[in-house]
Copies of this chain bind each other. A is one copy, B any other.
Amino acid sequence: MAKVKKQPRPKAETPKGFRDYFGAEVTSRSEMLAKIAGVYHRYGFEALESSAVETVEALGKFLPDVDRPNEGVFAWQEADEGGNGDWLALRYDLTAPLARVYAQHRNDLPTPYRRFAMGPVWRNEKPGPGRFRQFYQCDADTVGAPSVAADAEICALLADVLEEVGLGGQYLIRVNNRKVLNGVLEAMGLEDDAQKDAVLRTIDKFDKVGESGVRELLGKGRLDASGAYIDGVGLSEAQAEPVIAFLTSKGETTEATLANLGAAVGASEIGAGGVAELREIADLLAAQGYEADRIVIDPSVVRGLGYYTGPVFEAELTFEITDEKGRPRQFGSVAGGGRYDDLVKRFTGQAVPATGVSIGVDRLLAALAASGKAEARAEGPVVVTVMEKARMAEYQAMVAELRQAGIRAEVYLGNPKNFGNQLKYADRRGSPAAVIAGSDEFEQGKIQIKDLILGARIAENATLEEWKERPSQFECPRSELVARVQDVLAGRGQ
Contact = CB atoms under 8 A, between A and B. Distances in A.
Interface of A: 1, 7, 9-16, 18-23, 25-27, 30, 34, 37, 41-44, 46-55, 57-58, 60, 63, 68, 70-71, 74-76, 78-79, 86, 88, 90, 99-101, 103-105, 110-112, 114, 120, 122, 124, 133-134, 142, 144-147, 149-150, 152-153, 156, 160, 193-194, 197, 280, 283-284, 286-289, 346-349, 381, 383, 392-394, 396-397, 399-400, 403, 406-411, 413-415, 425, 428-429
A104 B71 CA distance: 29
Nearest to A114: B410
Contacts of A403: 42-43, 160
3 shortest interchain CB distances as A-B pairs = A44-B410, A12-B103, A287-B393
A252 to B, nearest CB: 23
B348 A12 contact: yes
A347 to B, nearest CB: 4
Main secondary structure of the interface of A (DSSP, over half): mixed
Nearest to A104: B12
A79 B70 contact: yes
Copies, count: 2
A392 B288 CA distance: 11
Nearest to A20: B50
B400 A156 contact: yes
B58 A68 contact: no
Contacts of A47: 21-23, 26-27, 30
A194 B1 contact: yes
B21 A428 contact: no
Given A46-B22, A193-B1, A347-B10, A52 B51 contact: no
A281 B406 CA distance: 24
B44 A429 contact: yes
A205 B58 CA distance: 43
B55 A11 contact: yes
B411 A149 contact: yes
A12 B59 CA distance: 9
**Residue of A34, A44, A88 with most chain B CB atoms under a 10 A cut-off:** A44
B9 A51 contact: no
Contacts of A49: 20-21, 25-26
Contacts of A50: 14, 20-21
A50 B9 CA distance: 21
A134 B403 CA distance: 34
A234 to B, nearest CB: 17
A396 B44 contact: no
A108 to B, nearest CB: 9
A396 B21 CA distance: 40
Contacts of A289: 400
